Amino acid sequence: MIFLLLLVANITFGQAPVVGQWKTVDDNSGEVKAIVELFATNGKVNGKIVRIFNKEHPDPVCDACAEDDDRYNKKIVGMEIIRGLVPDNGVYSDGDILDPENGRIYRCRVWVEGDNLMVRGYWGPFYRTQIWRKSP
């Protein structure tokens, strides 16, 4: 019980290494697409988009999200795209991540390697890993 309380306290007070702001990077161009802030709430880690870098669509909405999703037609900036990650030995999993470009929700797992955040989304047995960079 004491271990669990200490674990929750570490996450709640920002001691989790994944907590903070991260730059998402386009897989093809290498350009920064957005800044996502990961934060702890009730022992879980969630993440929201705090800034996007898209001159053509500076303030888009998630019109690709499913209509029964609470994020449908909501602004992407400020949107919670990562929900419910649970810590386990430096890996945060059992949550999900939304890709607002296509509206798909993937099972999610994140962990830190060096100065980077590894973000892996699962669709059935398939997965894709992105590398996010720490944002100052």
* 60-84 pLDDT per residue, tens: 999 999 999 999 999 999 999 999 9
> How many Cβ atoms from other residues are within 10 Å of residue 26's Cβ?
12
The pLDDT of residue 1 is 43
Determine which of 1-5, 42-46, 56-60 has the lowest per-residue pLDDT on average. 1-5
Question: CATH number, domain at 124?
Answer: 2.40.128.520
The pLDDT of residue 9 is 42
Question: pTM score, two decimals?
Answer: 0.86
> What is the extent of the structural domain holding 57?
2-134
User: Which residue pairs from 10-17 have beta carbons closer than 8 angstroms and sit at least 24 positions apart in sequence?
Assistant: 11/40, 11/43, 11/44, 11/45, 11/87, 12/40, 12/43, 13/40, 14/40, 16/40, 16/45, 16/87, 16/92, 17/90, 17/112
Domain count, the chain: 1
Q: What mean pLDDT, rounded, does the chain reach?
A: 89
